[in-house]
Amino acid sequence: MKFLFLFSMLACALLRADPAAVWDKEMMPILENYCFDCHADGSKKGDFSFENFPTIASMQANRSIWKRVRENLTMELMPPIDKDQPSRDERKKLVAWIDAAVFPIDPKNPDPGRVTLRRLNTFEYQNTVRDLVGVTPDTSLLPPDDGGYGFDNIADVLSLSPAHVEAYLTTAANTLDEVYGKTSPPSKDIPPNTLSGSPAFDGEEFSMYTGGTRSIALREKPGKYKVTFRLGGEQAGDEPVKAVITLGKEKKAIEIPKRTPEKFSITTDIGPDANLLAIEFTNDFWDEKTKGDRNLIIHGITLEGPLDGGPKRAAVLFPPRKEKMTDDQYAALVLSNFLSHAFRRPATEDEIARHYAFVKKNRKPGQSLEDAMRPAFEAALISPQFLFRELHAVYSLEKPGAVVPVPELALAARMSYFLWSSTPDDTTLAQAAAGQLRQNFTEEMNRLIRDPKSSALIDRFFGQWLQYQDADFIPVDTKLYPAVNDQLRKAMVKETRTFCEDLWKNNLPITRLIDADYTYVNERLARHYKISNVSGDDFRKVPLQDPQRRGILTQGSILVLTSNPNRTSPVKRGKWVLETLLDQAPPPPPPNVPSLAPPSHSSTARSMREQLEAHRKDAACASCHKLMDGIGFSFEAFDVDGSRRPDGFDSQGVLSTGERVDSPAALAKIIAEQRAGVFHRAFAAKLLTFALGRGLDYYDHPAIDKIVASAAKENHTLHAYLRATMVSFPFQYYRK
C-alpha cells in the first residue's frame, strides 16, 4: 500500500507539471537508453515505434497501444531480459507519466462509461422466465452465449441472431405449454431388475418362474400417477397366467393370456412417503409329465406422473378477477400486470392496447379469455423490451457525452441481475417506480444480498471468475490418473462451490479464498485427499492438516483445471494465479514456440523444471516465464488430480518480485499479506466487470480504488464489496 501511495503521489506531481515538457526532459533520456534501439530510429520491432507518436494527442488517440506499453513496463516484459534494464524508479516514472498524460483522469468529472444494448444471457433468461411465469424453461435450444473478459454477460458479445429469434419463439411456446398444463406428464422407465424379492429373475427375459412378489419403494412428489406393466406369459395348464399389480394402496388382479406382451395399468394417487410398486405372480404351474411350465415375464415398467401435476396458471399471469369485470377490463388488468413484470417497468397504455388488440383479433369463437391471451404472453417473451437491458441509456434523449444517473427502474434491474441474475421482485420495482429506490438503497441492497437468490453469484460470478466449473470436463489421462472419474470430478467442483457459498453466506473476508486452513469435502473427496474421519456423501467443513494446502489454491478443481491431461503445468498454474487472482494476465506466447516434451519414466528424461529452464534461455520467452514459472513451481508437490505427490518433487520457486516460495501455502501468505492490495484491486475489478457487463477502462480506476477503500472499512468482506460495487459511480451513472 505504501508503494501505491508513493506511485499516486508521483502521478499527481506529473499531472500538475506540463506533460510535454516532462516527456522531453525526463522520459526521453530513459527511453533512449533502453528502448530506442528496437523502437525508434527507423526500427519498429513488434510493429511499434515511438516515432509514430510525436504528440501526446497522438498517444491518446491510440490508447490501446499505450495500454500495452504500460503493461509491458509494469510487468517487466520490456525491455527483453537479455537487454539492459531500467531501474525500478525509472519504470515507475515512465508508468506514472503514461497514466498522467495518456490516461488522464479528472476526479471532479468522473466518467462512468457508456453502456451497450445488453441481451439477457441464457442463465438470466432462464431465471427471468422462471420468476415471471413460475416455470423454468428448457433453454437447450438456445445458441450458446459468447464470453468476454471472463464472463458470459458482457453486452458487446451478446448478439441476437436469427437462430436466437427462432429458438426464443420455440422456447416461449414450450414454456407456456407447461404453464397452461398442456404438456405430457413426465414419465420414466423402471428397469425390471431394480425390483427386489423372490423369485430371482431367470435369464434376460425377467421371467418369474415360480410364485412370489417383486417390488420397489418409490419416492415421488405427491399426485396422481399411472404405472404400466408390459407383461407376457409362458402358458400351461387350464388357465392363463395370473398376477396382481400394485401401486401405492391400489391393487389390481390381472390375467395375461399370451406370451406376446400386453399393457396393464393402474392409476392412483400417491403420497409423499415411500409407495410400493409391486407385481405378484399368483398361479404358478408345473406339469411333470408334459413339462408344461407357467411363468410370468416382465417386459417393461413405465411410471407416468404426476398426471395432475402440470403447473397451474401462474398468479402473475392471471390475478384475481373482480365481480362484474368485463373481458376488456380484465384483459387490461392481466396485461398491465404481466407486461410491467416482463418489461421491468410500468407498461404503457399503448403497449397494453397493442397486445390486447392482438388477443381480440385472434380470439376464436367460444374460446376462453385466458386461452385467447396466450399469444400476447408469447409476444411479450420475444419482445426487445423483455430480451434486452439498458434500453434506457441507448435510446435516451440526453445529449451525447452527458453524464446522467441511471433511471431508478433501470437501476433496479442492474441490482437484481448483478446479484440474482434475474428480474427485480415486486418490492424493488415498486420502490423504483415510486422514485424511492435511491433513498432506500442501503436497505434494499442488504435485502437483495441476503436473499437466497443471491446464490446465483456463486455459479455465475465465482464459477466463471475462478473457472472451477470447467474441472467437470477438462480432459485428464485416466490411464495415468484412474481416480479421476465423474464422481470425483463432481465432488471437486462441489468442494469449491460450497467453499465460495460459505464465503457469501457468512460474509467472510475475500482473502479467505486463498489463505483458508479448511475446506469442504465428502467421503469420496476426503479419501482422495487423505483426510480421515469423513463418511457419507454430504459435504462438511474440515480443517486442513496438510500445512501445504490452503484455500482454493490446492482444491482439486483448480489443480485439474491448471494441468495438462498427462502432467502438471507450472506455466498454466502460474498464469492462472496471475490472471485470475492478481489481474495481471501475461501476453500470449510468441508464435512457433515448441511444446514441452510429454512426461516420461526414462532416466534420461529431463524434469519439468529443467525443460522450463532451457525454455527460458530464449529471450522472447524469458520475460513472461519469469512471471509465471516461480509461482507454478510452488505447486509441484500436487499432482494433476489434486492429490499430494510423494516427497522428492522440487517445489522451490522465486517470484518475479524476488520472494521465495516452496508451497501453495507460502504463496497464499504472500498474496494475502504483502500483495493484498493487488489482490483486492483485482477482485474489485473482476466484480465491477461482472456488474457492469463490460470491460473496464482507465477511467474506471478511481471507482476500483473507492470500492477497495470502502470494503477495507469492513475487513474486505464479500458483502462489503458487493455494496461498494452497487454504490460505485459507474454502477449508478452512465455516459450517453
Q: Is residue 309 part of a domain?
A: no
Is 414 in contact with 370 (CB distance < 8 Å)?
no
Residue 423 covered by a domain: yes
In a domain, 106, yes or no: no
User: Residue 119's beta-bridge partner residues?
Assistant: 388
93 and 164 in a common domain? no
In a domain, 652, yes or no: yes
Give me the pLDDT at residue 598, please: 59
Q: 633 lies in a domain? A: yes
612 has pLDDT over 60: no
Q: What sign results for the dihedral spanned by CA atoms 347, 349, 351, 357?
A: positive
Q: Is the pLDDT of residue 223 over 90?
A: no
- From 280, 304, 328, give the residue that closes a domain: 304
The whole-angstrom separation of Cα 40 and Cα 720 is 48
Whether residues 564 and 636 fall in one domain = yes
Q: Is the same domain home to 137 and 20?
A: no
* Residue 547, pLDDT score: 93
pTM: 0.80
Distance of alpha carbon 273 from its chain centroid, rounded? 35
The pLDDT tens digits of the residues spanning 444-475 come to: 999 999 999 999 999 999 999 999 999 999 99
Residue type, 575: K
Mean pLDDT of 544-551: 94
Contact 393, 734 (CB under 8 A): yes
The answer to whether residue 531 sits within a structural domain is: yes
Taking residues 559-579, report their average pLDDT.
94
Is residue 663 scored above 80 in pLDDT? Answer: yes
Are 271 and 259 members of one domain?
A: yes
Phi, psi angles (nearest 5°) of residue 735:
-105, 125
Are residues 343 and 472 part of one domain? no
What pLDDT shows up at residue 246? Answer: 92
Q: Give pLDDT, residue 435.
A: 96
The H-or-E segment that residue 242 falls in is strand 241-247
542 and 584 share a domain? yes
pLDDT of residue 574: 93
| Confidence band of 221 (pLDDT split at 50, 70, 90) | confident
The whole-number pLDDT of residue 592 equals: 60
Structural domain of 534: 460-591+607-671
Residue 319 lies in a domain: yes
Average pLDDT on 541-549 reads 94
In a domain, 598, yes or no: no
CATH number of the domain where residue 194 is located: 2.60.120.260
User: For the segment 51-81, what is each residue's pLDDT rounded down to a tens digit?
Assistant: 899 999 999 999 989 998 888 888 777 888 7
Are 207 and 340 found together in one domain? no
> Whole-angstrom Cα distance, residue 687 to residue 722?
8
Average pLDDT of every residue of the chain: 88
Select, from the ranges 38-42, 157-161, 707-711, the one with the highest average predicted confidence (pLDDT): 707-711
Q: CA neighbours within 13 Å on the CB side: how many for 648?
A: 3
Shared-domain flag, residues 286 and 418? no
Q: Contact at 8 Å (CB) between 428 and 448? A: yes
Among residues 631, 656, 671, the one where a domain terminates is 671
Residues 615 and 724 in one domain: no
| Section 571-581 average pLDDT | 95
Residues 31 and 145 in one domain: no
- Say if residue 166 is in the same domain as residue 29: no
Residue-level pLDDT at 654: 84
Q: Which of 50, 66, 101 is where one domain is finished?
A: 101
Residues 167 and 199 in one domain: no
Query: Which helix (H) or strand (E) element contains residue 251?
Result: strand 250-256
Query: CA 25, CA 479: separation in Å to the nearest integer?
Result: 63
Span 367-401, pLDDT tens digits: 889 889 999 999 999 999 999 998 877 778 888 88
pLDDT band per the 50, 70, 90 thresholds, residue 727: very high
Count of domains forming the chain: 5
Model confidence pLDDT, tens digit, residues 80-96: 877 888 988 988 899 89
| pLDDT above 70 as % of the chain | 90
| pLDDT score at 249 | 87
